[in-house]
Amino acid sequence: MDSKNIEEIVKKVLESMTGTAVPARGASSSREIPKTARVAKLVEKGRFEIQEYPLPEVGDGDILVKVEGCGVCGTDAHEFKNDPFGLIPVVLGHEGTGEIVKMGKNVKADSAGKPLRLGDKVVTCMIFKDNPEITMFDLNKQNVGGADVYGLLPDDEVRFNGWFADYILIRKGSTVFNVSDLDLASRVLIEPCAVLVHAVERAKTTGILRFNSRVAVQGCGPIGLICIAVLRTMGIEHITAVDGEPKRLEFAKRMGASETVNFKDYKGIEALAGAVEASFGGHLADFAFQCTGSPAAHSNIYKFIRNGGGLCELGFFINGGDATINPHFDLCAKEITLVGSWVYTLRDYATTFDFLKRAKGIGLPMGELITHTFPLDKINEALKTNLSMQGLKIAVINE
Ligand SMILES: [Zn+2]
């Protein structure tokens, strides 16, 4: 047993006696917080600049977090390339996580009521400026689409508004969760996983998705792959993944797909639908998830679904154009129940923490979704790697 182990044990004993966390040696305390720190600011389309600012005052309801890592989202990539949200100059990064290094005297617990202490690992969800008293239990129906999110806030005098930075200031009125029981990779994946937890919740509202359902998942980027993992952790066994990349299809199997169909092997939608049908032993899908941003893929997916089946469309996070369907054949005659899905609620966020533990428990390789990591000062490369469609999930990981 080395001194580090002993230190851990002493710390645990002290914690159990006093109920308060004792910061481990080397853990952050206020005297170790530097005067200034870096942010990666998008200063023009296609270019982040590393800028250094004095760290802001931490108010009574605020939390200062030392950033450990942050995933690069498709939203970041769009903003980097074209500024569709008109946010420049902006510190991006909303899939971040880090450690509490300082907090105001009024901060006691996270948005789920779990105690918060120095050294805890946290993530943020949405910010309710207009109603800071709102709690996660009010929010079954309120979707994050209408709220603010760190990493998509306009620049202001605080500066530390996004997770692509050394530090972030979590202001009073924000939602924050203590996720100290999850590893770094899981914590970086919480935000995208919440999108799929929400999509599956939407799918369940149709009453069609069941344990023994045959489910087709179209698109095996991060969203489709996580979709498969969520379905698998729910106990759904018959999952066919559809994509055009053999490598992604292989990974889909490791995430829980029972069968795969490479659409490039089939000419025309009839042949492709036949392959999906064959993958389920001669049955069409009871339910399908559309996880690509391709209008043609939306048009096609109806052909994979049986009469009376269901469809969840969640692939279009930006406007990808119009899709053509035949309302008679695709919807009416088949009595398809269609739901759309958009981001998540706070409740879904909390469900996601449990999903990640279950996924790990049944051996799904969630951490391998993060295929590329970059330090903060290589953020331009990180975004370019994302745009080049290499790999799956790209993350900025701080030293
Ligand atoms: Zn995102």
Kindly write down the DSSP assignment for every residue of 128-176, as one continuous string.
-SS-TT--GGG-SS--GGGSEETTSSPP-TT---SSSBSEEEE-TTEEE
Residue 12: predicted pLDDT:
55
Q: Residue 71 Cα, ligand 1 centroid: separation in angstroms?
A: 8
Q: Residue 78 Cα, ligand 1 centroid: separation in angstroms?
A: 11
Mean pLDDT of 234-240: 97
How crowded is residue 223: how many other Cβ atoms within 10 Å of its Cβ?
22
| Stronger pLDDT, 54 or 139, i.e. the higher one | 54
Whether 176 has a pLDDT exceeding 60, the answer reads yes
Q: Residue 131 Cα, ligand 1 centroid: separation in angstroms?
A: 23
- Phi and psi at residue 384, in whole multiples of 5°? -65, -35
Q: Residue 335 Cα, ligand 1 centroid: separation in angstroms?
A: 33
Q: Residue 268 Cα, ligand 1 centroid: separation in angstroms?
A: 33
Whether 1 has a pLDDT exceeding 50, the answer reads no
Residue 140: predicted pLDDT:
44
Q: Residue 148 Cα, ligand 1 centroid: separation in angstroms?
A: 13
How crowded is residue 294: how many other Cβ atoms within 10 Å of its Cβ?
16
Q: Residue 15 Cα, ligand 1 centroid: separation in angstroms?
A: 36
Q: Residue 343 Cα, ligand 1 centroid: separation in angstroms?
A: 8
Average pLDDT of the chain? 90
Cα R_g (the chain), whole angstroms: 22
Q: Residue 77 Cα, ligand 1 centroid: separation in angstroms?
A: 10
DSSP output for 66-130: EEEEEEEPHHHHHHHHH-TT---SEE---EEEEEEEEE-TT--B-TTS-B--TT-EEEEEEE-SS
Q: Residue 72 Cα, ligand 1 centroid: separation in angstroms?
A: 7
Residue 131: predicted pLDDT:
56
Task: Return the C-alpha torsion angle 301, 303, 304, 310, nearest 10.
Answer: 70
Query: What band does 28 get if pLDDT is binned at 50, 70 and 90?
Result: very low
**If one looks up domain 193-340 in CATH, what number appears?**
3.40.50.720
Q: Residue 312 Cα, ligand 1 centroid: separation in angstroms?
A: 19
Mean pLDDT of 264-277: 97
Q: Residue 197 Cα, ligand 1 centroid: separation in angstroms?
A: 14
Q: What is the pLDDT of residues 75-90, one digit of tens each?
A: 899 999 999 989 999 9
Q: Residue 95 Cα, ligand 1 centroid: separation in angstroms?
A: 6
Whether 309 has a pLDDT exceeding 80, the answer reads yes
Q: Three-state DSSP class for 290?
A: strand
Using an 8 Å Cβ cutoff, are 20 and 119 in contact?
no
Residue 24: predicted pLDDT:
45
**CATH class of the domain whose range is 16-181+365-397:** alpha beta
Residue where the block lists tokens 């990974």? 251
Domains of the chain by residue range = 16-181+365-397, 193-340
Same fold, 16-181+365-397 and 193-340: no
How crowded is residue 23: how many other Cβ atoms within 10 Å of its Cβ?
14
Whether 25 has a pLDDT exceeding 90, the answer reads no
Using an 8 Å Cβ cutoff, are 295 and 227 in contact?
no
DSSP output for 46-58: TEEEEEEEEPPP-
pLDDT over 70 percentage in the chain:
87
Using an 8 Å Cβ cutoff, are 56 and 158 in contact?
yes
